Amino acid sequence: MGNIFSDRISDVPRSFIRDILKLALDQSIISFAGGMPNRDLFPVKEINAATNKLFAECGKDILQYSTSEGYRDLREWISARYKARKNIDVPPDNILITSGSQQGLDLLGKTFVNEGDDVVMEEPGYLGAIQAFSVYKTRFHPVPVDEAGIDTARLEQALSGYRIKLFYSAPNFQNPSGISYSGENRARVARLMEKTDTMLIEDDPYGELRFMGSDKPSFYRLLPHKTVMLGSFSKIVAPSFRIGWLVAEDEVMEKLAIAKQASDLHTNYFGQRVIFQYLKDNDIDAHIEKIRRAYGSQRDTMVSSIKEHFPGEIKYTRPEGGMFLWITLPEGLPAMEVFRRAIECKVAFVPGDPFYVNKKDVNTLRLNYSSVDEETIRTGIKRLGGVLKQLLGQKIKKSEIPSICNFKKK
């Protein structure tokens, strides 16, 4: 029956992470594979209170159909926050509520990408974006990112060599690597973009979660007419509501609203109302500060454990925010090989492969620190250090031999 399917769906990579996460469900495994916020920080009581207030004050209203653009008060809140935090003017009419940022990416693919259209993707880049654009039979042009930002020479090559329709960028604490674009890097990118017809997608789910360094200017500020901005409540309130948003100028917004309506009529309205009520009745800045402090501390623990237990030749990023850290292994040691061994020793991560559009058996991997407590981070990193030393044929301190793991010293 295979031939009845569309060509597009055959091109979408099956989610590697789904399979990996299934493995990591084993409760005895220490998992750095997730991409989830720390559940202990969810404002449970406050969201419950917001929900009760809504039922008491407008029970029927919050259960009915609503508009495709999203709840007006919530869009006004988002608009006001852009003004307050970044001094950007974003009228509520230019904000569309989406079913999570992931849907924003799907709507952009729907609205912009014809089969074979050229799209610049960060390398490594967000798996969900690769999947979303793959559906529309995109031709990807990967451009490397490192701790300074995107490789502007390679970006320029792509922009001048092809008619690049979209450039997907996550300039703040990118998933998977945790890296951010420097201010200078952003300015260079903006100069390159000015000469093109390319639309820049600024995906920013982690922007509020900076625990060191200083905020850098948004692309939406540098390139207002060529930037579509994505945001999300998943990391600052809670992900289960699947509520994100998309900022675009009028002409783009009109097309996106059509795509949105055809996709799911509107984002769940009950959740939009609950999130708004929560934001209205609580000090979101104080809540975000709590998350920042926790993730900052978890990140520090992971970095210091890596310093202590990983072989010296292994490189790692030092994120200033967000939830992820990126490991580069010595050449010739595929992360998948480490993964298989690590699983035997009850520690998991995501091998880098799914974050590349056209590479396999890469020597990079992603570690998540947001959803693991610090004691467990120390235990897990030590265990992973033992695995790495063993695979690299290095001497292992007795304390680093994971007791759970029965390999012999070489």
Applying the rule CB under 8 A, the residues between 80 and 99 that interact with a second copy are 98-99
Residue 62 touching a second copy (CB under 8 A):
yes
Near a second copy in 250-289, by CB under 8 A: 251, 255, 258-259, 261-271, 273-274
Cα 37-73-87 angle, rounded to 5 deg? 75
Contact residue for a second copy among 19, 23, 26, 39 (CB under 8 A):
39
Near a second copy in 128-167, by CB under 8 A: 128, 131-132, 134-136, 165
The footprint of a second copy on this chain (CB under 8 A) covers a number of residues equal to 80
Q: Which residues pair with 231 in a beta bridge?
A: 245
Decide if 368 contacts 380 (C-beta within 8 A): no
Q: Looking at beta carbons only, is 274 or 387 nearer to a second copy?
A: 274
Q: Candidates 39-47, 167-175, 183-191, 377-385: pick the segment binding a second copy (CB under 8 A).
A: 39-47
Near a second copy in 13-32, by CB under 8 A: 14-15, 18
Tell me the CA distances in angstroms from 111 to 108, 163, 195, 207, one per residue in order: 5, 17, 22, 25
Tell me the CA distances in angstroms from 196 to 161, 170, 299, one per residue in order: 11, 19, 38
Q: Looking at beta carbons only, is 188 or 273 nearer to a second copy?
A: 273
Residue 42 touching a second copy (CB under 8 A):
yes
Q: Looking at beta carbons only, is 279 or 396 nearer to a second copy?
A: 279
Minimum Å gap between C-beta 34 and a second copy is 8
DSSP-derived secondary structure letter, 13:
P
Minimum Å gap between C-beta 148 and a second copy is 30
Residue 332 touching a second copy (CB under 8 A):
no
Q: Candidates 105-113, 214-222, 336-344, 362-370: pick the segment binding a second copy (CB under 8 A).
A: 105-113
CA distance 383 to 62: 49
CA distance 65 to 95: 19
Decide if 247 contacts 86 (C-beta within 8 A): no
DSSP-derived secondary structure letter, 28:
T
Q: Looking at beta carbons only, is 54 or 381 nearer to a second copy?
A: 54
Q: Looking at beta carbons only, is 45 or 360 nearer to a second copy?
A: 45
Strands 315-316 and 324-328: antiparallel
Q: Which two tokens stand for residue 99?
A: 């079913």
Contact residue for a second copy among 95, 199, 223, 347 (CB under 8 A):
199
Q: Looking at beta carbons only, is 62 or 377 nearer to a second copy?
A: 62
Near a second copy in 179-198, by CB under 8 A: 197
Strands 364-368 and 315-316: unpaired
CA distance 392 to 185: 36
Residue 294 touching a second copy (CB under 8 A):
no
CA distance 364 to 389: 16
Residue 370 touching a second copy (CB under 8 A):
no
CA distance 306 to 326: 11
Near a second copy in 297-326, by CB under 8 A: none
DSSP assignment string, 106-123: HHHHHHH--TT-EEEEEE
Minimum Å gap between C-beta 220 and a second copy is 17
Minimum Å gap between C-beta 48 and a second copy is 4
Residue 366 touching a second copy (CB under 8 A):
no
Residue 239 touching a second copy (CB under 8 A):
yes
Minimum Å gap between C-beta 338 and a second copy is 25
Minimum Å gap between C-beta 329 and a second copy is 28
Buried-exposed string 14-37: b where 16+ CB fall within 10 A, e elsewhere: eeebeebbeebeeeebbbbbbbeb
Q: Which candidate, 112, 69, 128, 136, places its Cα nearest to that of 200?
A: 112
Q: Looking at beta carbons only, is 15 or 399 nearer to a second copy?
A: 15
Q: Looking at beta carbons only, is 68 or 363 nearer to a second copy?
A: 68
